[in-house]
């Protein structure tokens, strides 16, 4: 019964209101058409029988029905907001019954003036209008119920009161048909509600799926940090251009890398770094000619420049980009200044990754030039790039231990004329035949993240081959820049030395000034950690380029190694002699030893000796050799 009752109630909610209104709009105009037709029919039949006042009711009904029909036209309903529709439906529920009563009252008023035929017509019209009204409100059961009651009750009672011979049959027929029609309405409404509910469910599911898909798409393509495109999205843009039809309109791909970003992160914190990346992203977007851009990761961005640009125009655009990045960035009262290197490549019909490799090669060159250089990938770069890629793959894939060998160069003490140490110099072979010097593979070791592994291998092998605990030699190994800032590296290498049965004091770690400059604070802390583990530390390549004397005082150093540029100049250049003399004196005052490397002639050695330098290294004393040869020479000298 409750279930039965529930289906008389119209459902609430915007979706239902709209559905009801739509359903009504498809039926109500037709219903009003029936009302208009019937009103005119009745008026026409009673034209000469009824008084004028009653006859004039029909035009009023016609006018009102016509205006209602127009109001409920589907095209008009579709334009009305849901709030208005709700009011319309409520009004219809409220007023529908009263309107029916008016129609019935009018018919009752006419009844006494009609002859039997006209009266039959009234019976017929009332019945037909009621059927039409109930059918018209099939999805508005409450209204249908009110209409049904408003027509049937007064009319049936009236029929019974007329004393018509078939009055009971007529009233019964009307009541029965009304009840059947209302039951049908009830069933129709129930089905309508079910259908509408499942339609709403489907719509909700569809909406949720669409929302999920768009959220997923956003997550997958938006860089959470800058709010712009991420790697995936910008590469997708690039791919699109590659597969596009017009070869002449392929865009320019620029790779952009911020110089000094790490410094911002370290000095001002990560919030400043994030701010810089977002600002840079915005600024890139505002450069004329940029058709798409996104962050590849870290502080590297990919930019697509307009395909209609020629070489000159794209260089102008790249310079504009560079200038935009150089503009100071304000952050929390601080002014941050950065610049960026740019590698450019005209996208050609290959894969996105080849385009990236080429632009990256140009970027690599630009970074070597420094100061926010812009480099265009040229034909001649292709050969170098292919070689670099091949070597990179070989280095990446090889078992480093099998492809590595060490040469040892003696360190000679002039006072005792004896070899006191060996410096290990690495050689790497891509194929086991050709051996490459560090200048060729160190950058690749760095790029492939294998410098730590290299250093560990070199240290372990040097100890195994030179056996300092037996020979009394001091062994020197070179550290890569990253080793100087690598977390826990002092412990790692101390462990290697202990496992080899050697003492860290017999190992000299050579670090270059450049490595120290990468991150001076962490480097200084790392040197202290090395020292605490018992290692000795040498500052390599001192005097090559710009050297800072202050770091001699601040860092825990055991030795400085004067660079071979100074060695070469010593015998000929009095200025070089003066500078070297000053460095030696300062080092002596600070308790730091001095050695000189790259000594090739006796004249250079004599000049160094005259300045008080006793530890020497260079072709004049011995070339780098494999362990067997280096140790044989050493053993002979000792003997």
Which chain residues interact with Ca ion by CB under 5 A?
478, 510, 540-541
CB of residue 568 to ligand C2E, shortest distance in Å: 8
DSSP string, 588-602: HHHT-EEEE----SH
Q: Is 411 in the site for ligand C2E (CB under 6 A)?
A: no
CB of residue 595 to ligand C2E, shortest distance in Å: 11
Q: Write the CB contacts of 196 (distance below 8 Å, at least 6 apart in sequence).
A: 11, 15, 16, 19
For ligand C2E, which stretch binds (CB under 6 A), given 65-73, 124-132, 365-373, 474-482? Answer: 474-482
> For residues 140 and 539, which CB has a smaller minimum distance to ligand C2E in the complex?
539
> For residues 343 and 504, which CB has a smaller minimum distance to Ca ion in the complex?
504
> For residues 147 and 458, which CB has a smaller minimum distance to ligand C2E in the complex?
458
CB of residue 465 to ligand C2E, shortest distance in Å: 13
Question: Could you give the angle at the alpha carbon of 568 between the alpha carbons of 564 and 572, nearest 5°?
Answer: 155
309 burial class (0-12, 13-18, 19+ CB within 10 angstroms)? middle
> For residues 477 and 502, which CB has a smaller minimum distance to Ca ion in the complex?
477
CB of residue 616 to ligand C2E, shortest distance in Å: 10
Tokens of 517: 């400059």
> For residues 18 and 597, which CB has a smaller minimum distance to Ca ion in the complex?
597
Nearest residue to 560 (alpha-carbon basis) of 533, 581, 537 = 537
For ligand C2E, which stretch binds (CB under 6 A), given 332-340, 438-446, 488-496, 629-637? Answer: 438-446
For ligand C2E, which stretch binds (CB under 6 A), given 161-169, 281-289, 435-443, 577-585? Answer: 435-443
State the Cα–Cα distance between residues 7 and 317, nearest whole angstrom.
70
- Applying CB under 6 A, among 196, 360, 474, 540 the residue interacting with ligand C2E is 540
What does 437 interact with, of Ca ion, ligand C2E, none (CB < 5 to 8 A by kind)? ligand C2E
> For residues 95 and 460, which CB has a smaller minimum distance to ligand C2E in the complex?
460
- Applying CB under 6 A, among 109, 154, 438, 581 the residue interacting with ligand C2E is 438
CB of residue 495 to Ca ion, shortest distance in Å: 23
- Applying CB under 6 A, among 55, 193, 314, 458 the residue interacting with ligand C2E is 458
The one-character DSSP state at 561 is E
Strand partners, 290: 305
CB of residue 490 to ligand C2E, shortest distance in Å: 16
Q: Hey, what's the torsion of the CAs at 31, 32, 35, 40, to 10 degrees?
A: -140
Q: Is 421 in the site for ligand C2E (CB under 6 A)?
A: no
CA atoms in the 13 A half-sphere facing the CB of 352 = 15
- Applying CB under 6 A, among 114, 598, 615, 630 the residue interacting with ligand C2E is 598
For ligand C2E, which stretch binds (CB under 6 A), given 138-146, 259-267, 308-316, 436-444? Answer: 436-444
CA atoms in the 13 A half-sphere facing the CB of 87 = 5
State the Cα–Cα distance between residues 514 and 539, nearest whole angstrom.
10
State the Cα–Cα distance between residues 512 and 538, nearest whole angstrom.
8
Q: Is 425 in the site for ligand C2E (CB under 6 A)?
A: yes
The one-character DSSP state at 406 is E
Order of strands, sheet of 374-376, starting from the edge strand that comes earlier in the sequence:
290-297, 300-305, 252-259, 339-346, 374-376
What does 444 interact with, of ligand C2E, Ca ion, none (CB < 5 to 8 A by kind)? none
Tokens of 1: 């019964």
> For residues 302 and 459, which CB has a smaller minimum distance to ligand C2E in the complex?
459
Q: Is 541 in the site for ligand C2E (CB under 6 A)?
A: yes
CB of residue 512 to Ca ion, shortest distance in Å: 7
115 burial class (0-12, 13-18, 19+ CB within 10 angstroms)? exposed
State the Cα–Cα distance between residues 117 and 138, nearest whole angstrom.
32
CB of residue 333 to ligand C2E, shortest distance in Å: 41
What does 259 interact with, of Ca ion, ligand C2E, none (CB < 5 to 8 A by kind)? none
Interface size with ligand C2E, residues (CB under 6 A): 23
Nearest residue to 287 (alpha-carbon basis) of 315, 321, 258, 256 = 321
For ligand C2E, which stretch binds (CB under 6 A), given 73-81, 369-377, 518-526, 597-605? Answer: 597-605
Residue ranges with strand state E in 260-378: 290-297, 300-305, 329-331, 334-336, 339-346, 374-376
Strand partners, 426: 406
CA distances 86 to 67, 77, 162, 615, Å, are 19, 11, 42, 99
> For residues 426 and 496, which CB has a smaller minimum distance to Ca ion in the complex?
426
State the Cα–Cα distance between residues 147 and 133, nearest whole angstrom.
7
What does 598 interact with, of ligand C2E, Ca ion, none (CB < 5 to 8 A by kind)? ligand C2E
CB of residue 508 to Ca ion, shortest distance in Å: 9
CB of residue 604 to ligand C2E, shortest distance in Å: 9
Q: Is 619 in the site for ligand C2E (CB under 6 A)?
A: yes
Which residue reads 């709209």 in tokens? Answer: 18
> For residues 474 and 597, which CB has a smaller minimum distance to ligand C2E in the complex?
597
CB 347 within 8 A of CB 412: no
Tokens of 263: 């410094």
State the Cα–Cα distance between residues 165 and 160, nearest whole angstrom.
9
CB of residue 563 to Ca ion, shortest distance in Å: 6
CB of residue 435 to ligand C2E, shortest distance in Å: 11
Residues that bind ligand C2E (CB under 6 A): 409, 425-426, 437-439, 442, 454, 458, 478-480, 510, 540-541, 564, 597-600, 618-619, 624
């Amino acid at each position: 019964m409750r279930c039965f009752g529930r289906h008389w109630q119209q459902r609430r909610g915007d979706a239902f209101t709209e559905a009801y209104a739509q359903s009504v709009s498809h039926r109500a105009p037709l219903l009003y058409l029936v009302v208009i037709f019937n009103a005119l029919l009745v008026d026409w039949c009673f034209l000469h029988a009824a008084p004028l006042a009653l006859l004039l009711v029909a035009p009023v009904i016609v006018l009102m029905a016509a205006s209602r029909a127009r109001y409920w036209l589907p095209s008009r309903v579709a334009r009305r907001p849901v709030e208005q529709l709700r009011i319309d439906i409520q009004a219809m529920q409220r007023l529908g019954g009263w309107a029916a009563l008016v129609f019935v009252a009018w018919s009752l008023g006419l009844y006494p003036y009609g002859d039997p035929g006209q009266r039959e017509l009234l019976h017929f019209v009332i019945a037909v209008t009621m059927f039409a009204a109930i059918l018209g409100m099939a999805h508005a059961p409450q209204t249908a119920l009110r209409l049904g009651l408003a027509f049937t009750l007064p009319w049936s009672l009236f029929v019974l009161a007329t004393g018509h011979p078939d009055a009971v049959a007529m009233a019964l027929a009307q009541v029965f048909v009304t009840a059947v029609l209302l039951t049908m309405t009830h069933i129709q409404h129930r089905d309508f509600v079910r259908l509408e509910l499942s339609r709403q469910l489907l719509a909700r599911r569809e909406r949720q799926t669409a929302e999920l898909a768009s959220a997923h798409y956003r997550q997958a393509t938006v860089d959470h940090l800058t709010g712009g495109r991420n790697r995936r999205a910008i590469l997708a843009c690039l791919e699109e251009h590659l597969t596009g039809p017009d070869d002449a309109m392929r865009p320019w791909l620029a790779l952009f890398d911020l110089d000094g970003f790490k410094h911002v992160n370290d000095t001002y914190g990560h919030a400043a770094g994030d701010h810089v990346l977002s600002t840079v992203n915005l600024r890139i977007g505002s450069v004329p000619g940029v058709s798409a851009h996104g962050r590849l990761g870290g502080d590297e961005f990919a930019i697509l420049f307009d395909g209609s640009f020629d070489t000159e125009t794209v260089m102008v655009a790249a310079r504009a980009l560079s200038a935009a990045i150089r503009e100071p960035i304000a952050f929390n009262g601080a002014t941050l200044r950065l610049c960026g290197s740019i590698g450019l490549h005209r996208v050609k019909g290959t894969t996105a990754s080849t385009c990236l490799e080429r632009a990256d090669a140009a970027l690599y060159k630009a970074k070597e030039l420094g100061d926010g250089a812009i480099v265009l990938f040229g034909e001649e770069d292709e050969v170098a790039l292919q070689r670099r890629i091949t070597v990179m793959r070989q280095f990446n894939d090889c078992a480093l231990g099998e492809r590595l060998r060490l040469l040892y160069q003696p360190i000679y003490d002039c006072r005792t004329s004896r070899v006191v140490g060996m410096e290990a110099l690495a050689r790497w072979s891509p194929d086991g035949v050709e051996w490459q010097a560090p200048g060729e593979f160190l950058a690749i070791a760095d790029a492939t993240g294998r410098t730590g592994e290299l250093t560990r291998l070199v240290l372990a092998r040097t100890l195994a081959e030179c056996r300092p605990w037996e020979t009394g030699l001091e062994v020197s190994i070179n550290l890569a820049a990253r080793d100087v800032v690598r977390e826990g590296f002092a412990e790692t290498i101390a462990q290697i030395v202990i496992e080899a049965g050697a003492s860290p004091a017999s190992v000299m770690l050579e670090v270059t000034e450049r490595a120290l400059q990468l991150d001076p604070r962490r480097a200084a802390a790392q040197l202290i950690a090395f020292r605490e583990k018992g290692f000795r530390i040498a500052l390599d390549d001192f005097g090559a380029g710009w050297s800072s004397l202050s770091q001699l005082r601040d860092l825990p150093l055991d030795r400085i190694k004067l660079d071979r540029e100074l060695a070469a100049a010593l015998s000929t250049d009095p200025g070089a002699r003066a500078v070297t003399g000053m460095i030696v004196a300062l080092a002596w005052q600070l308790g730091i030893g001095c050695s000189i490397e790259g000594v090739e002639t006796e004249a250079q050695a004599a000049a160094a000796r005259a300045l008080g330098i006793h530890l020497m290294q260079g072709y004049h004393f011995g070339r780098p050799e494999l362990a067997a040869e280096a140790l044989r020479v050493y053993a002979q000298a000792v003997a």
